[in-house]
Chain A
């Protein structure tokens, strides 16, 4: 940095701190005497339970989206045109319609009438299972496109070399294409997984008692404001930041010079 840039940097930093400080004092002076953090403490158990459900949904949907993502990837690379085109149009449909609609339509119109009773009889929470399934399909559609981009970005010579050393088609993907493709799409995948964790909050519309749902109830019952939203934001950050860090760490580890 040149001397002038240093000065400019210092000035901008001071301005930002001042702005943030002003915003905080303004908000807190408005709410100051009404903010009562003991409310959040009273509801800690239901909030904690909700957070655990969100954690569970995130892990399950992450695994599910990987399964669907791989299926969509392979479907789009199928030698059968009918499989390719079905996959293509399904993906397009899923990606171009809101998740909220999928959840409402998928739950109330399609899956609840079909399998809710069976799931209930077997002791499952039908909303949770169907919610995870719908979330997995939605995120899997994006993941499928990310993976396809990665796989198609690997140069032709790599496919040929892999074939030439005698790898079977499965081995070509397993040992040559995927390891290289995954490195390329890692940042995009991490971004998607962060979205997935945040999108899980939408499951509240079908009545899954996850973190957002429980916080919403807590706010409604106790007339809380800040006391509800701050833990809500922090709760999601605790889930998403490790994913972001992990992705940065993996990226650095795998950065092979090309």
Chain B
């Protein structure tokens, strides 16, 4: 995937979530965003994912500019997948329906075809046993995995994951991270934000350190984790890696 982000600003009231952020990536399969909470990771992901529009600046994904009108953004969201920290699934629908409904209503598959595709998506991540369960009957890790299955069922161009494991315990975190790694190895373009540094190191092609609404540093994981150039990044890493 290719990214061109130029001096993007995004304000929420007096808070400057993105403060003239620029980012240029020629080609990467997996881009991982790390950095302190409140530094702008989520906002950047939401802008890149078409859930939020920038106040100013320009964003190009794979050579196409993101236009700020509602219809264009909706079409863009339909081509991609997005997963939040938690509560992604619709609680009144079973795991299978959660996947099948968007396939049917958004991607215009016939109902039977949508169910088949949804079953395949669940089977791919060994979740078929849970097909008929409601989200409340699934563990947090299973919910996130079904959420990912839904986000990739229509073969998205880019999969956006916003701290997908932050609400999970270590064991569930592992099961979700394994799944994401599987997707990355299968060739899926992914942009994700995370606090799991080990995982970022293992799976990323490029790691971006986001702080104070800017990209402080962008480098392949070996460089960024091995010898960070920015002082801010070095301090952040030494603090989070201490324990």
List residues of A whose CB falls within 8 A of some B CB. 155, 157-158, 160-168, 171, 175-176, 179-180, 183, 254, 256-258
CA distance A155 to B92 in the complex (A): 13
Chain A residues, CB < 8 A from B84: 157, 160-161, 164
CA distance A175 to B81 in the complex (A): 18
Option from A155, A168, A171 in Cβ contact (under 8 Å) with B87: A155
Write the nearest CB–CB distance from B211 to chain A, whole angstroms.
24
> Does B49 touch A at the CB level, under 8 Å?
yes
Q: Tell me whether A167 and B106 are in contact (CB under 8 A).
A: yes
Chain B residues, CB < 8 A from A257: 134, 136-137
Q: Tell me whether A164 and B105 are in contact (CB under 8 A).
A: no
Chain A residues, CB < 8 A from B74: 166, 168
Chain A residues, CB < 8 A from B137: 257
Chain A residues, CB < 8 A from B107: 166
Q: Tell me whether B105 and A167 are in contact (CB under 8 A).
A: yes
Chain B residues, CB < 8 A from A183: 92
Chain B residues, CB < 8 A from A157: 84, 86-88
> Does B36 touch A at the CB level, under 8 Å?
no
Write the nearest CB–CB distance from B77 to chain A, whole angstroms.
5
State the majority secondary structure of interface residues on A: helix
Query: Known contacts A160-B51, A256-B92, A258-B136: does B106 contact A165 (CB below 8 Å)?
Result: yes
Q: How many residues of B contact A (CB 8 A)?
A: 26
Option from A165, A254, A258 in Cβ contact (under 8 Å) with B102: A165
Write the nearest CB–CB distance from A155 to chain B, whole angstroms.
7
List residues of B whose CB falls within 8 A of some A CB. 49, 51, 74, 77-78, 81-84, 86-92, 101-102, 105-107, 134, 136-137, 150-151
Nearest to A164 among chain B residues (CB) is: B82
Q: Tell me whether B78 and A166 are in contact (CB under 8 A).
A: yes
Q: Tell me whether A258 and B106 are in contact (CB under 8 A).
A: no
Q: Tell me whether A167 and B92 are in contact (CB under 8 A).
A: no
Q: Tell me whether A167 and B102 are in contact (CB under 8 A).
A: yes
Chain B residues, CB < 8 A from A164: 49, 51, 77, 81-84, 88, 151
Chain A residues, CB < 8 A from B86: 157
CA distance A256 to B132 in the complex (A): 13
Write the nearest CB–CB distance from A186 to chain B, whole angstroms.
13
Q: Tell me whether B136 and A158 are in contact (CB under 8 A).
A: no
Closest A-B pairs by Cβ, 3 of them: A166-B78, A164-B82, A257-B136
Chain B residues, CB < 8 A from A158: 87, 90
Query: Known contacts A164-B49, A164-B51, A165-B102: does B91 contact A258 (CB below 8 Å)?
Result: yes
CA distance A175 to B102 in the complex (A): 10
User: Which of the listed residues A164, A167, A180, A258 has the most CB atoms from chain B within 10 Å of its own CB?
Assistant: A164
CA distance A257 to B94 in the complex (A): 12
Q: Tell me whether B102 and A166 are in contact (CB under 8 A).
A: yes
20 further A-B contacts with Cβ under 8 Å, apart from A171-B106, A176-B90, A257-B137, are: A155-B87, A157-B84, A157-B87, A161-B87, A161-B88, A163-B77, A164-B77, A164-B82, A164-B88, A164-B151, A165-B77, A166-B77, A166-B102, A166-B107, A167-B106, A180-B91, A180-B92, A256-B92, A257-B134, A258-B136
Nearest to B134 among chain A residues (CB) is: A256
Q: Tell me whether A165 and B150 are in contact (CB under 8 A).
A: yes
Chain B residues, CB < 8 A from A258: 91, 136
Chain A residues, CB < 8 A from B151: 164-165
Write the nearest CB–CB distance from A183 to chain B, whole angstroms.
7
Option from A160, A161, A179 in Cβ contact (under 8 Å) with B92: A179
CA distance A157 to B83 in the complex (A): 11
User: Which of the listed residues A161, A162, A167, A256 has the most CB atoms from chain B within 10 Å of its own CB?
Assistant: A161
Chain A residues, CB < 8 A from B87: 155, 157-158, 161
Q: Tell me whether B51 and A163 are in contact (CB under 8 A).
A: yes
Chain A residues, CB < 8 A from B77: 163-166
Write the nearest CB–CB distance from B196 to chain A, whole angstroms.
21
| 28 pairs, CB–CB < 8 Å, chain A vs chain B | A155-B87, A157-B88, A158-B90, A160-B84, A161-B84, A161-B90, A163-B77, A164-B49, A164-B81, A164-B83, A164-B88, A164-B151, A165-B106, A165-B151, A166-B106, A166-B107, A167-B102, A168-B74, A171-B106, A175-B90, A176-B90, A180-B91, A254-B92, A256-B91, A256-B134, A256-B136, A257-B134, A258-B91
